[in-house]
Amino acid sequence: MILKDVIEKTAHNVEKTLDRILPPLSKDTQALDAPLIEGMRYVTLEGGKRIRSFLTTESAALFDVPESQALRVAAAVEMIHSFSLVHDDLPCMDNADLRRGKPSCHMRFGEASAVLIGDGLQALAFETIAHPDTHPLAEIRASLCLELARSLGASGLCAGQMIDIAAENKTLSMNNIILLEHLKTGSLFSFCCKSGAILGRAPEEAFHALNKFAYDFSVVFQITDDLLDLEGKTEEVGKPTGSDALLGKATIVNLLGKKEAFEHASLLIQEAIYHLDYFGEKADPLKDLTRSLLKRRS
Ligand code: GRG
């Protein structure tokens, strides 16, 4: 199967899983909690490239994990990712009015509801992973919860977002930009890859190879994100472009320039693929995804 089809199939399957797990829309549209549920569905079910889902299901496939288990973890990751986008778009953060080509969550539901929609998604993500349907062994579920929590808190997304905000209009070194982007974006990518190894009770070397892969993958992804922000069209990208410059954000592309950043990304792609060699042919879809990053348009 070609990469586009595999990604579409994963996206379709994870959306079906999300649809089943998310609370159903109330028949009573006047119910006072209706915006919470409508919002949780609005931000998770429509749109998004589902790259994190793909990383999760494909890393699980390396260890022959049943697809239903991997899809539940992928659904939880998409909930967390959507939650982070909802909070990132808030007026007190990046103040973005468009996300995935439609009004951002606070524009559609109001600011207070957007905060609660994000919080509701975070709780449901952990509930999903902790449920016995995700894995029959409690120690595996606990390990997934532990690693996900680690990837989000003071050594993960929250720390990255904090540094990002504090660094606005400041000059950061390459090392500090990479640290910031690893925390903000890479830690969830790393969790996706690691989750497959946890579900598959993989040996230590497999964790190590996936960790190294996720590290390189994240930097390449971030460089392409910077390039899209610099050169992409809002209609194509589905979110406001040019915001890095507007908010004075330190990015790899701003520091290195377009040409050097592109060359750096090309080298990291080769390195990322090298780490996947450990898994043989089973890692081909992950390799294809990595090679495709520099061509992405959204
Ligand atoms: C999640 C615990 C927790 C806290 C939130 C707001 C915040 C703290 C962190 C912000 C993290 C953030 C928004 C990072 C940017 C990640 C990124 C590159 C998003 C775009 O990812 P894509 O392109 O998006 O995969 P789609 O729409 O395709 O899913």
pLDDT band at 193 (very low <50, low <70, confident <90, very high): very high
Cα of 210 vs centre of ligand 1, distance in Å, is 21
Nearest CA to ligand 1 atom 2: 152
Task: Give the SS3 label for residue 103.
Answer: strand
Task: Judge whether 286 and 213 are in contact, CB under 8 Å.
Answer: yes
**Concatenated DSSP letters of 203-239:** -HHHHHHHHHHHHHHHHHHHHHHHHHHHH--HHHHSS
What pTM did the predictor assign? 0.95
- Over range 77-98, report the average pLDDT: 97
> Do the Cβ atoms of 216 and 186 come closer than 8 Å?
no
How far away, in angstroms, is 136 Cα from ligand 1 center? Answer: 30
Q: What's the pLDDT score for residue 292?
A: 95
Among 86, 97, 95, smallest CA distance to 39 is for 86
pLDDT of residue 16: 98
Ligand 1 centroid–CA 258 distance in Å is: 23
Residue 127 has pLDDT above 80, yes or no: yes
CB of 87 closer than 6 angstroms to any ligand 1 atom: yes
Whether the predicted pLDDT of 29 surpasses 80: no
Q: Is the CB of 20 under 6 A from ligand 1?
A: no
What does the pLDDT read at residue 188? 98
- Mean pLDDT computed over every residue of the chain: 94
Alpha helix stretches (DSSP H) within the chain: 3-21, 34-45, 51-61, 67-89, 105-109, 111-130, 138-152, 157-166, 174-181, 187-199, 204-231, 234-237, 243-246, 252-256, 258-276, 284-292
pLDDT band for position 105 (50/70/90)? Answer: very high
| Ligand 1 neighbourhood includes 85 CB (under 6 angstroms) | yes
Q: Is the CB of 49 under 6 A from ligand 1?
A: yes
> Is residue 221 scored above 90 in pLDDT?
yes
Q: According to the model, what pLDDT value does residue 56 have?
A: 98
Instruction: Give the ranges where 153-203 is alpha helix by DSSP (H).
Output: 157-166, 174-181, 187-199
| Distance of alpha carbon 212 from alpha carbon 158, whole angstroms | 22
pLDDT higher than 90, residue 296: no
* Phi, psi (degrees; rounded to nearest 5) at 2: -80, 155
Indicate the DSSP class of residue 62: T
Give the per-residue pLDDT at 235. 84
Q: Tell which residue, 82, 67, 193, 184, has the closest CA to residue 134.
A: 67
Q: How confident is the model at residue 8 (pLDDT cuts 50, 70, 90)?
A: very high
Of 113-122, 206-215, 287-296, minimum mean pLDDT range: 287-296
Provide mean pLDDT across the span 194-221. Answer: 97
Q: For position 285, what pLDDT does the model report? A: 96
- Centre of ligand 1 to C-alpha 80, Å, is 9
User: Residue 146 to residues 18, 110, 191, 192, 215: CA-CA distances in angstroms?
Assistant: 22, 32, 10, 13, 19
Q: How far is the CA of 184 from the centre of ligand 1 (A)?
A: 7
Residue nearest atom 27 of ligand 1, based on CA coordinates = 48
Q: 232 and 241 in contact (C-beta within 8 Å)?
A: yes
Q: What is the pLDDT of residues 226-243, one digit of tens each?
A: 999 888 888 888 888 888
| Chain centroid offset of residue 69 CA | 18
- Output the pLDDT for position 44: 98
Q: Coil, helix or strand for 98?
A: strand
Q: What is the mean pLDDT of residues 191-212?
A: 98
Residues 17/74, Cβ–Cβ less than 8 Å? yes
